[in-house]
Amino acid sequence: MLLRKLKKENIDNLIDAILDEFQEEIKDWESELEIKGKNITIANVEQVSYMARYDEIKVNLKSLLDYYDMRVKQVRGESLQMINENTDYKYSFAEREKLVDGNPKYIKIYRTYLEVKELHGMVTSIVEQFKNRAYSLHNLVKIYGASLEDITL
């Protein structure tokens, strides 16, 4: 839903603030992941909300990543078109690629793409760690339940 919310905005002008906001949202992930010293009931309740929150962030970052993948291709295409239209010299494929790779606009967009990709990868890892936390909690609940069955009244 992030791209829909920003439909009328120039995302390129807001990207630093957007990424800063995402980084602020995930800054406490390590302490939220920790189950040591927590009540098992509270940890299970937290699990659902944490998973939902981080999964939503992951989805939004995936949309942003796809957007910047598209922007990289767009700027690359525009650069190649400009080279082809504004020169009489017939550059080889490798020469054209090097010219595009040196274009400051392309470098800026590609750098942004890499920043979004890095943050998306981080959040994907966080989501996986919360999935592992869910398995651990599930196993702990099973062990706790089994120990109750052994009680003789």
pLDDT per residue as tens digits for the range 68-112: 999 999 999 999 998 888 888 888 889 888 989 999 999 999 999
Q: What is the mean pLDDT of the chain?
A: 89
80 touches 100 (CB < 8 A): yes
What is the arithmetic mean of pLDDT over 45-65? 95
- Confidence check: pLDDT of 113 > 80: yes
C-beta of residue 11 within 8 angstroms of C-beta of residue 63: no
Instruction: Give the model's confidence band at 56: pLDDT under 50 very low, under 70 low, under 90 confident, else very high.
Output: very high
Please, how many CA atoms are within 13 Å of residue 65, restricted to the half-sphere of its CB? 17
- For the chain, the C-alpha Rg in angstroms (whole number) is 24
Select from 1.10.287, 3.30.70, 3.30.460, 1.10.3470 the CATH code of 40-149: 1.10.287
Q: Which of 88, 28, 98, 14 is nearest to 57 (CA)?
A: 28
Residue pair 129/33 in contact (Cβ under 8 Å)? The answer is: yes
pLDDT at 152 over 50: no
